[in-house]
Chain A
Amino acid sequence: DIQMTQSPSSLSASVGDRVTITCRASQGISNYLAWYQQKPGKVPKLLIYAASTLQSGVPSRFSGSGSGTDFTLTISSLQPEDVATYYCQKYNSAPFTFGPGTKVDIK
């Protein structure tokens, strides 16, 4: 099975900073990658699918890129409401594995 890894596992940044999270697949998955945001105590929310397509209603400061095995989620200007854990997920074929998550907080 394809394994998903994320780096870093956690980060602390200042409001307004550009934040980049990396997700790596152990084998190529084309662009079959989604990103989710889970705020503390809340239900996960889809941010991006097809590696770079922003879900409706998601702020434009979020963006995704990548294809094959290496993907990134970027927050162009970190806001206090972006404190959350971010997960990537592959969906090219089962199992539809999630990455281990990246916890983002404010410095």
Chain B
Amino acid sequence: EVQLVESGGGLVKPGGSLRLSCAASGFTFNTYSMNWVRQAPGKGLEWVSSISSSSGYIYYADSVKGRFTISRDNAKNSLYLQMNSLRAEDTAVYYCARGPGVTTYWFDPWGQGTLVTVSS
């Protein structure tokens, strides 16, 4: 069974940093693209960042470019999101989601999400 388990969320002050992790199991991690999608409270889905299977292609939403860094460790079956210079508007549930292949970017399945709250 494919499983994606996010961790690392929490309360952080504006300007602070946080590192999210996503532990993957049940599939050959190094053959799939991986993604982060967020959802602010009561709002819609917002794509954040994507990384191809071998990290050769990396993409960011304009809203996080220069502040967030996506990475993966295929030996550890893990995906990461380093978030710096956090703002109140980054408050959201952050979902990890798998792509369907090496460099394709629809999302299935999704993890349960981890809540990031940016507040003083």
A interface residues, Cβ below 8 angstroms from B: 1, 34, 36, 38, 43-46, 49, 55, 85, 87, 89, 91, 94-101
Contacts and interface: CB of A to CB of B under 8 A. Distances in A.
Contacts, number: 59
A46 B47 contact: no
Nearest to A49: B106
Give the contact-size bracket for chain B. Answer: 20 to 34
Query: SS class of chain A's interface: helix, strand, loop or mixed?
Result: loop
Query: SS class of chain B's interface: helix, strand, loop or mixed?
Result: loop
Nearest to A97: B47
A94 B48 CA distance: 10
B106 A95 contact: no
Given A95-B62, A98-B47, A100-B44, A43 B105 contact: no
